[in-house]
Amino acid sequence: MAPLHAVVVSFPAQGHVNPLMNFAELLGMRGFFITFVTTEWMDERLLKAASKDAAARDRDVAERGLQFRFLSIPDGLPPEHGRTADLGGLLLATQKLGAVLEGVLTKENRSVPPITCIVSDSFLACTAQVAANLGVPRVIFWTCCTAYSIAQTNANFLLSQGYIPVKEDDLKSRDKLITCLPGKIPPVRPTDIVSFYREQHVNEEIYGAFLHESRFQNVGDYVLVNTFEELEGGKEAQLGLSINGCPALAIGPVSLPNFLEGRNSMYSIWKEDKTCLQWLDSQEKGSVLYVSFGSIAVKSEKQLHELALGLEATGYPFLWALRFDIVEGKSVELPEGFRERTRDRALLVSWTHQLQVLSHPSVGGFLTHSGWNSTLEAISLGVPMIGWPYFSDQFINCRFSKDIWKVGLDFEGVDADEYKLVTKEEVKKTMRYMMEGFISKEIRENVSILKEAATKAVTEGGSSYVNFNRFVEDMQNMSK
């Protein structure tokens, strides 16, 4: 019998490709044939960062016993377009990719089994029509937390209720708790919802693109969320994403089983620095601050300087993943003499293998932009955080880490004004709170409980493990 065939389609950004590839691998290990689709731009970045060509990648997956085929499609943008530096523009471009995607999927290829389902990134509305035209189930994969996902799928409803666009100057309405969303989730505030709905960001086209996405984000046959039930309100929470009885299941953290079993499946668009781990080996247990703002967030030069001086003032050793495009439109310049003064206790690299770093015993805390993958990784590996959100869903991840899960801290005022300058004194003070004293003790205890829960969730008999199995079985049944 031909194997089941999942077409996994990822939005072309780091925080999407990584969980979708990890999920695709998990399916591959259950015998699925996988077609992994992303854009040409993304595919080239992945290959370049891994220093591999497509043939070497095909050999690698085949040697691991996986049946994978990688397809890339043009995104229709000119070469000079910033892609993830202009996420709104990229989103608009992907909304037009349906016909191209359908074209590559229907091209006759006898070596490929018939398609069982399309696993679509939740930010790819165009796959709804493709799945309908091909007559196969559409599985929507959410790369964000459940609460955010529910708010985003209900964006048009929130618009009709006047919660969005968020009225920045109207404190009462900005912080009003929204309790009318489905699913068992903690109340969210308008400012928790994706930042593209905030007045200062409202760009009609992008705003429209997000509202368009929301109409297709739970329209399908299955919803999967990269989270785990013990973190987010049990089974009932995910049901807020279900319509017309469509199953909605938490199956994450999807990168954890691969990592725990030593498969180290990290799909980076930047070349990883290999020296970090050796350097971490030379540091004391729990002493190092890890600083990284993911693949997209940027900072002003002034802010970067305050941060550097704050890190210097803490006296702690630190590992800083400092992308060379962190300052928009400029190369990185740090305060004069900073590198020399911190040389004996700091390592600056452009990109790390974040799971390896976070799981290293020397790492005692994480200053993060609160991207969902980074948040989930820190929780799964038991590292307390300071959240410093930049945009998108990062505000809700940061607030939940601090107020609901109590595994992190934040800088005062950033949730209301992400352009607020965080001073070196604030950096130093908050780092201290994370690294020592009673607040540190409390968040460390909480995060280690959640670490255990995450590990349990993905191991045999755990909630995500059981949910993943149910999904596999349902796909097997649907294809009979």
Q: Are 316 and 433 in contact (CB under 8 A)?
A: no
374 binds ligand UDP (CB under 6 A): yes
CA max distance for the chain: 67
Handedness of CA 436, 437, 442, 443 (dihedral sign): negative
295 binds ligand UDP (CB under 6 A): yes
Instruction: Tell which one of 351, 388, 400, 411 touches ligand UDP (CB under 6 A).
Output: 351
Amino acid at 166: V
22 binds ligand UDP (CB under 6 A): no
What is the Cα–Cα distance from 89 to 379, expressed in whole angstroms? 32
3-state secondary structure of 35: strand
Instruction: Tell which one of 152, 226, 373, 455 touches ligand UDP (CB under 6 A).
Output: 373
CB nearer to ligand UDP: give 373 or 455: 373
Q: Which of 139, 180, 197 is nearest to 8 (CA)?
A: 139
446 binds ligand UDP (CB under 6 A): no
Which residues does residue 363 pair with via DSSP β-bridges, in sequence order?
288
3-state secondary structure of 148: helix
Total Cβ atoms within 10 A of residue 288: 27
Draw the binding track, 253-272, toward ligand UDP (x: CB under 6 A; -: no contact).
-------------x-x----
Tokens in use for 278? 């050796």
Find where tokens 């229907």 sit: 106
CB nearer to ligand UDP: give 91 or 117: 91
- Shortest spacing between CB 42 and ligand UDP, in angstroms: 13
CB nearer to ligand UDP: give 117 or 297: 297
Instruction: Tell which one of 10, 14, 265, 430 touches ligand UDP (CB under 6 A).
Output: 14
Q: Are 415 and 299 in contact (CB under 8 A)?
A: no
Find where tokens 């490709």 sit: 17
- Shortest spacing between CB 378 and ligand UDP, in angstroms: 9
Instruction: Tell which one of 354, 401, 446, 479 touches ligand UDP (CB under 6 A).
Output: 354
- Shortest spacing between CB 210 and ligand UDP, in angstroms: 16
Total Cβ atoms within 10 A of residue 9: 27
Q: Which range in 10-18, 101-109, 180-188, 239-247 contacts ligand UDP by CB under 6 A?
A: 10-18
Instruction: Tell which one of 131, 296, 381, 458 touches ligand UDP (CB under 6 A).
Output: 296
Tokens in use for 203? 């760009």
Q: Which of 87, 296, 123, 99 is nearest to 205 (CA)?
A: 87
Q: Are 275 and 351 in contact (CB under 8 A)?
A: no
Length of the chain (residues): 480
Binders of ligand UDP: how many residues, by CB under 6 A?
Answer: 21
Total Cβ atoms within 10 A of residue 105: 22
CB nearer to ligand UDP: give 137 or 317: 317
75 binds ligand UDP (CB under 6 A): no
Find where tokens 């006047």 sit: 162
- Shortest spacing between CB 238 and ligand UDP, in angstroms: 19
Tokens in use for 189? 């505030």
Instruction: Tell which one of 294, 310, 384, 408 touches ligand UDP (CB under 6 A).
Output: 294
- Shortest spacing between CB 23 and ligand UDP, in angstroms: 13
Draw the binding track, 217-256, toward ligand UDP (x: CB under 6 A; -: no contact).
----------------------------------------
| CA 99 from centre of chain | 27
Instruction: Tell which one of 127, 292, 303, 467 touches ligand UDP (CB under 6 A).
Output: 292
Q: Which of 323, 330, 255 is nearest to 291 (CA)?
A: 323
- Shortest spacing between CB 209 and ligand UDP, in angstroms: 17
Q: Which range in 53-61, 365-373, 417-425, 431-439 contacts ligand UDP by CB under 6 A?
A: 365-373
- Shortest spacing between CB 16 and ligand UDP, in angstroms: 7
Residues making contact with ligand UDP (CB under 6 A): 13-15, 18, 266, 268, 292, 294-297, 321, 351-354, 371-374, 377
